[in-house]
Each structure stands twice: as C-alpha cells, then as structure tokens.
C-alpha cells in the first residue's frame, strides 16, 4: 500500500525489487506470497537455486523467471550495489543452516541481512547515492525496525517450523529453555520480550524517519507511511501481551489509510535531520 505513494517510476522499480525479494523468501521458506511457511526438506538446494538465478540476473542474463528477470531489469536501470543483494542472500543462508542468534547483536545482524539490506537497495531505487553511507544507515534502520516487528509478531509461526530469532541470551535471562518459549507457562515472559522488541523497533523507526527527511516528498511520504504501518504491528503485539499470538496481528485497510494520512502530514514538515543515535547497531559498510 505504501508503495503506491511513490511517483510512478520509483513505484515500479520498488515493485521490481520486491518481486525478487518475495520470490527468494518464498523459495527459501516453502511458502506462497509470504504465507503458509513450512519446514523444507531441501534448504541447501533451494539456497543454491536462489544464488544461481540471482547471479544470472545480476550478470544481465535473461533468466526466464519473472521475479529474477525483474531484478535484472532493475539493476540495468538503477546503480543498486550487488553487495546489498549478496547480503540479503546471506540472510537466507543463515536460515538454511538452521542458525540461531546467541546475542542481541546477532539478532540485529540477521535483521540487517533479511530486511536492512533491502532498505539500502530501496534507498538507491529512490535516488540515494550508493556512496551516501549516512542515508543508507538510516534506510537499514528502517528495515531492521520492520524485521524486529516481524520477529515479535511471528514467534509462534516461526516456532512451528523449528525457528527462533529471539537471542539465546534473552531466553536465558527470562529462564526459558530454548525451543520451549511457546509453551503456555512461558507466555508472560515471552510477552516481556515482545514488548522489548517493540521498543527496539520504535528506536530504529525514529532513526529512519530522520533519514527520510532528505528524500523527495513522495518517497518521504511512502517511507513514513510504511514505517507507521509496521509501527502499528509492533505496538499491537506489545499491547496484546500473552494473547499476541492467539491470532496473527494485522493492520486493517481503514487503519492503514489513517496512518498514511498521518505520514503525509509528517512528510510535509521537512526539516534538518537529527544526528543518528550512536547506540544503535550499525550495518557493515559496503561502500
């Protein structure tokens, strides 16, 4: 929905990038358009296919797969650094290897790979220079905020396929045995961690909002709208407490429209961005 707020050229390029990312995610997770994730029996083979098709697309070779050809068209039009694409695939590799975060830093690094790097690529699509590290850091912050919201919302769904993105250090802190965090006796403790994730997401969203100040109005509006919508997801998870995973948290169309209007008002109030919080985790610089 937020992408519709872009100007036409940016919107269509954003769709090309999203098509590739969505197809990779669906291949890696055995799902359809982000739904019905299943534990796959051949993760290494799926990862190899993603790498092969992506490499062909980046080389300018017709792939014969619409989503991967979308990436080929995109990189022919926009100077998206291939390093960002490689970083995203590195996130899929972690899942294929059944990786688990031991620390908060590990979790944030994963968030960068699966979402922050997409944010960086999207910023370039919006016209940000690949050498503008300061703005790309803010774009990464937005992706990280989105993924933190996803982790909080999807704890139960991830657990069903044997995944957990909560740091082991957090589980130990809350005296929850790894792999047992979804058991009913631990719901109250899990709700504490979900609230922590929501608070972290808010901090990264705030940083990203500062970076959006340097974007053209339509792009600034779209970014702030997406941020508001994902912020609502994180808040709903935190507010529901132990019942956050009884039903999947969603943001309805009417609420999305209201949040988009709120973002539009904020986008009109352009100002000089504040310095980035030095306490936030920072992506690896591929420049």
Residue 32 lies in a domain: yes
Distance separating alpha carbons of residues 280 and 273, to the nearest angstrom: 16
DSSP-derived secondary structure letter, 101: -
- Checking if the pLDDT of 247 tops 60, the result is yes
pLDDT digits (tens, 9 = 90+) for 202-228: 999 999 999 999 999 999 999 999 999
CATH number at residue 109: 1.10.600.10
- Checking if the pLDDT of 287 tops 50, the result is no
- Determine the distance from the C-alpha atom of residue 44 to the mean position of all C-alpha atoms in its chain, rounded to a whole number: 22
Residue 275 lies in a domain: no
Distance separating alpha carbons of residues 170 and 173, to the nearest angstrom: 5
Residue 133 lies in a domain: yes
pLDDT confidence of residue 286: 53
Mean pLDDT along residues 142-161: 95
What Cα–Cα distance (Å) separates residue 254 from each residue in 149, 150, 251, 286?
Answer: 20, 21, 8, 39
**Average pLDDT, rounded, for the chain:** 94
Mean pLDDT along residues 80-104: 95
Residue 135 belongs to what domain range? 2-268
- Checking if the pLDDT of 9 tops 50, the result is yes
- The length of the chain is 287
Mean pLDDT along residues 2-31: 93
Residue 115 lies in a domain: yes
Residue 114 lies in a domain: yes
Binned at pLDDT 50, 70 and 90, residue 92 comes out as very high
pLDDT confidence of residue 41: 82
What pTM value is reported for the model? 0.94
Distance separating alpha carbons of residues 22 and 212, to the nearest angstrom: 24
Binned at pLDDT 50, 70 and 90, residue 278 comes out as very high
Residue 145 lies in a domain: yes
* Angle, helices 253-268/217-240, rounded to nearest 10 degrees: 130
pLDDT confidence of residue 63: 97
Domain count, the chain: 1
Residue 274 lies in a domain: no
Residue 79 lies in a domain: yes
Burial zone of 51 (CB within 10 Å; 0-12 exposed, 13-18 middle, 19+ buried): middle
- Checking if the pLDDT of 94 tops 70, the result is yes
pLDDT digits (tens, 9 = 90+) for 48-84: 999 999 999 999 999 999 999 999 999 999 999 999 9
Distance separating alpha carbons of residues 166 and 159, to the nearest angstrom: 11
pLDDT confidence of residue 178: 80
């Amino acid at each position: 929905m937020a992408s519709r707020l872009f100007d036409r050229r940016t919107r269509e390029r954003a769709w090309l990038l999203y098509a590739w990312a969505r197809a990779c995610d669906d291949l890696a997770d055995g799902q359809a358009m982000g739904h019905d994730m299943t534990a796959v029996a051949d993760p290494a083979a799926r990862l190899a296919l993603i790498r092969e098709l992506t490499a062909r697309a980046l080389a300018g070779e017709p792939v014969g797969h619409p989503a991967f050809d979308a990436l080929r068209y995109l990189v022919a039009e926009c100077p998206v650094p291939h390093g960002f694409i490689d970083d995203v695939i590195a996130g899929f590799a972690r899942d294929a290897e059944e990786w688990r975060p031991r620390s908060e830093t590990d979790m944030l690094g994963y968030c960068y790979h699966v979402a922050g790097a997409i944010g960086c690529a999207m910023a370039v699509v919006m016209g940000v220079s690949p050498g503008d590290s300061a703005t790309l850091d803010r774009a990464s912050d937005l992706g990280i905020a989105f993924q933190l919201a996803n982790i909080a919302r999807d704890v139960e769904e991830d657990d069903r396929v044997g995944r957990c993105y909560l740091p082991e250090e957090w589980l130990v802190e809350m005296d929850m045995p790894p792999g047992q965090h979804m058991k009913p006796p631990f719901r109250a403790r899990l709700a504490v961690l979900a609230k922590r994730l929501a608070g972290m997401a808010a901090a990264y969203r705030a940083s990203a909002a500062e970076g959006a100040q340097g974007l053209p109005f339509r792009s600034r509006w779209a970014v702030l709208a997406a941020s508001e919508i994902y912020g609502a997801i994180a808040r709903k998870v935190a507010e529901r407490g132990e019942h956050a995973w009884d039903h999947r948290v969603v943001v309805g169309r009417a609420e999305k429209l209201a949040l988009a209007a709120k973002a539009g008002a904020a986008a009109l109030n352009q100002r000089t961005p504040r310095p980035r919080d030095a306490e936030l985790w920072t992506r690896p610089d591929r420049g």
